[in-house]
Amino acid sequence: MTFTQEEGDRIYARLVEARDARPEDDGEAFLARLVLLLADEVGDADRVLRAIEDAAE
Amino acid sequence: MTVASRSLRGKRRKITNVANDAPVTGYELAEYAFHRPPEFADPDPPVHPVAIVGGGLSGLALAGLLGLRGVPVVLLDQDASSGAWGTASRGIAYSKRTLEILDRLGVAERIRALGRTWNEGRIFDGEELIEHFVIQPEANQKWPAFINLQQFHTEEYLAERISQLESVELRWQSKVVGVEQDGDVVTLAVSTPIGEYRVRASWVVACDGANSEMQVHLGLHTPLHYFDDMWAITDLKVDMPDVQRTFWLNYPYLDQGAAIMHCMSPGMVRVDWQIIHLDPDEEVKPARVRERLASFLGREDFEVVSIGRFQFKTRLMERFVHGRVIFAGDAAHELPPYGARGGNGGIQDAENLAWKLEAVLRRRAGERIVETYELERHQAAVENIAAAAQSSEFIWPSTHGARLFRDAVLRLARRHQFAKALVNTGRSSKAIHYLSTPLSVGDDGAFLGGIAPGEAAFSCAVADGYLLDRWDGRFTAVYFVEGDGPAGPLPTEAAGFPLDHVVVSRSTDVTGDLFRRYDAGGGALYVLRPDVHVAGRSRTVTPEAAVAIVERSLAQAHALPETATVT
């Protein structure tokens, strides 16, 4: 894991909080925006494509 | 002979929390006798330095720690035994930090002897194993990460040990029914089998557990937050010597609820399962319990010892200190059991408070120092509650978002290590780093790592035992030296407190761990508080620097406002 357990837990809790704070009809769009932002942060197309395949399994 | 030692008369009584139900055998607990207190019917009773209300883990630990310091203590417990209330839902896991405290109290080796040291566990999603974890034991440590043992055993060991301390008096069957504060004296009305009498004390510590009646007596009302989560909790006698901590999420035979199995003393296992989404009344009936247990264990040769039902909740007092009445343990903060933070937190409350009360009573410090208990242990309670609540939210998500991410983590955890680390079935209790306490003195900026002020000291093996074996409950200057230690007569006190000195050289530090963990290469001075948290540190490795750290630490505490604000 890239993060410490404390960091991972903090990120996880914030993800849940942010998702729950979105209106019902914006939940999926929020996740799509987040994925695109994170893909840009990764900055490595191969790694992003591999993650997409992993998530699809 | 003290009243306490007379009260241990070797009798045991059977406690079962399922009345008149033969299939549940119950525990046999030590039974303690009531003795007529010396001040019964005294119109002008003496003022005890400290009275403790409640003989659970935190109350007994505090009585013991104060007793070791020679502070006279009267402990009042409403029952005739420990563990009589809610036998099934009480703590079982003691963390390393707590074991260090229990070691000082002289009971940790007994806990290790009867309990189960564990460092391995499994987590299932449905019937699929998603994580088999091993908590790697830290090398050269005296105590493991965890030892499991039913709470009443620990309480009995503590009561037995405390009965040997001259300054502690245990009064059983003594129920506090009223509290009055008048200036510097607190008066407790105490109901006993022979009638009511008054106990007067300079300080009262309420350790009367969840649903504290002491709060009611003081007119305090702390709101409860209930989780939408309820569990059946069972202890059973079964021959499973190799049982590991096992957690099931989405257990198919529980309509996707969760369950957990833990080892305890030899031949004893605890199995708990979620019932909030089932029929809670039905789930704790012995016939249903046997059915469930047979499903978990895959066998029927077990004996059910206790059954309980527990709704998870949190309750945190806004303040723990109310005049001369101080709250500790579950009386001050209730939380779900994930991570074993309840009992461990209560014992750590006791350790934090004991030296401060002693300091006030011996006039080494003003009452402001008690406010540091408020600040430090409130921070600990907030952290413990947040961690337990986050585990609870993972195990039984309460929102769409929580379930979405929880299910995503569980699915990814089958193949991805990072997701395994996010599976949160309880983050283990550990020592708190007191972040903004006035007792911490900023260091001189010369440390890149090490143990920061406010953190608990790190102990490990040295040439002749363990570092903290040398600690005697006082402020202690630990000198890490590359050559000779400090020369000349060393000061025996600082700011009116006794001061001990320990020298750690490269030859003392046989493993090299101490110099590494304390970032002590080239020399370092650490000053430990009487509860072994770090007060301050310096690269100036002299007794004068140690004295200066103690003085500054206490001066900062005394400068606290009368009722410090908890942030």
Let me know if the fold of B4-117+144-222+315-383 is the same as that of B461-558.
Answer: no
CA distance B190 to B188: 6
Q: Which of B399, B404, B424 sits opposite A9 (nearest CB)?
A: B424
Interface membership of B363 toward A (CB under 8 Å): no
**For residue B11, what pLDDT is reported?**
61
Which residue in B535, B547, B540 sits closest to B525, CA to CA?
Answer: B540
Question: Within 10 Å of residue A10's Cβ, how many Cβ atoms?
Answer: 13
pLDDT digits (tens, 9 = 90+) for B55-102: 999 999 999 999 999 999 999 999 988 765 545 558 899 999 999 999
List of long-range contacts for B260-266, beta carbons under 8 Å, 24+ apart = B260/B425, B261/B296, B262/B92, B262/B93, B262/B148, B263/B116, B263/B118, B263/B148, B264/B92, B264/B115, B264/B116, B264/B148, B264/B149, B264/B150, B264/B235, B265/B114, B265/B115, B265/B116, B265/B149, B265/B150, B265/B153, B266/B114, B266/B116, B266/B241
The verdict on domain B4-117+144-222+315-383 having CATH code 3.50.50.60 is yes
Which chain A residues have a beta carbon less than 8 Å from that of B388?
none
What percent of chain B clears pLDDT 90, i.e. is strictly above it? 72
pTM of the model: 0.91
CA distance B293 to B291: 6
CA distance B160 to A33: 62
DSSP labels, A13-45: HHHHHHHHHS-GGGHHHHHHHHHHHHHHHH--H
Interface-testing mutation among A12, A24, A52, A53, with chain B (most B C-beta atoms within 10 A): A12
**What separation, in Å, do the N-terminal and C-terminal C-alpha atoms of chain B show?**
46
Tell me which of B567 and B316 has the higher pLDDT. Answer: B316
Tokens of B342: 């309840």
Antiparallel, parallel or unpaired: β B534-538 and B524-528: antiparallel
> B181 forms bridges with which residues in the sheet?
B186
Size of interface A-B (CB pairs under 8 A): 43
ipTM: 0.90
| Residue B15: band (very low, low, confident or very high) from pLDDT cuts 50, 70, 90 | low
Which chain A residues have a beta carbon less than 8 Å from that of B399?
16, 20
Question: Within 10 Å of residue B160's Cβ, how many Cβ atoms?
Answer: 16
Stretch B115-125: mean pLDDT, rounded? 92
pLDDT digits (tens, 9 = 90+) for B268-306: 999 999 999 999 999 999 999 999 999 888 899 999 998
Q: Domains of chain B: which residue ranges?
A: 4-117+144-222+315-383, 225-312, 461-558
Torsion angle defined by CA atoms of residues B545, B546, B550 and B553, in that order, rounded to the nearest 10 degrees:
60
- Thinking of the domain B225-312, which architecture would CATH place it in? 2-Layer Sandwich (3.30)
CA distance B543 to B478: 10
Which chain B residues have a beta carbon less than 8 Å from that of A18?
401
* Alpha-carbon gap: A29 to the closest alpha carbon of chain B (Å): 13
pLDDT digits (tens, 9 = 90+) for B201-232: 999 999 999 889 999 999 998 988 888 889 99
Interface membership of A9 toward B (CB under 8 Å): yes
> B505 forms bridges with which residues in the sheet?
B481
SS3 assignment, position B240: coil
CA closest to B391 among chain A residues: A9
- A8 and B390 in contact by Cβ < 8 A? no
In which element (H, E) is residue B190 found? strand B185-192
CA distance B555 to B440: 11
Torsion angle defined by CA atoms of residues B326, B329, B334 and B340, in that order, rounded to the nearest 10 degrees:
160
- 3.40.30.120, 3.40.50.150, 2.60.40.10, 3.40.50.300: which CATH number matches B461-558? 3.40.30.120
Q: Is the dihedral of CA B270, B274, B275, B278 positive or negative?
A: negative
CA distance B328 to B61: 11
Tokens of A2: 């890239």
Tokens of B178: 């009223």
Q: What are the φ and ψ backbone dihedral angles of B101, each rounded to 5 degrees?
A: -70, -45
**For residue B563, what pLDDT is reported?**
59
CA distance B536 to B528: 7
pLDDT digits (tens, 9 = 90+) for B374-431: 999 999 999 999 998 899 899 999 999 999 999 999 999 999 999 999 999 988 778 8
pLDDT digits (tens, 9 = 90+) for B521-545: 999 999 999 999 999 999 999 999 9
Judged against a pLDDT cut of 50, whether residue B518 lies above it is answered with: yes
pLDDT digits (tens, 9 = 90+) for B292-343: 999 888 899 999 998 988 888 899 999 999 999 999 999 999 988 888 888 9
Q: Between the CA of residue B161 and those of A40, B112, B168, B174, what are the distances in Å?
A: 62, 16, 10, 20
Tell me which of B453 and B41 has the higher pLDDT. Answer: B453
* Alpha-carbon gap: B401 to the closest alpha carbon of chain A (Å): 5
Which residue in B459, B402, B131, B114 sits closest to B263, CA to CA?
Answer: B114
DSSP labels, B25-37: --EEEEEE-----
**For residue B253, what pLDDT is reported?**
86
Helix axes B368-395, A5-21, angle to 10 degrees: 70
Q: What are the φ and ψ backbone dihedral angles of B465, each rounded to 5 degrees?
A: 130, -135
Tokens of B98: 């707590």
Antiparallel, parallel or unpaired: β B461-462 and B465-466: antiparallel
CA distance B337 to B385: 10
Which chain B residues have a beta carbon less than 8 Å from that of A54?
412, 415-416
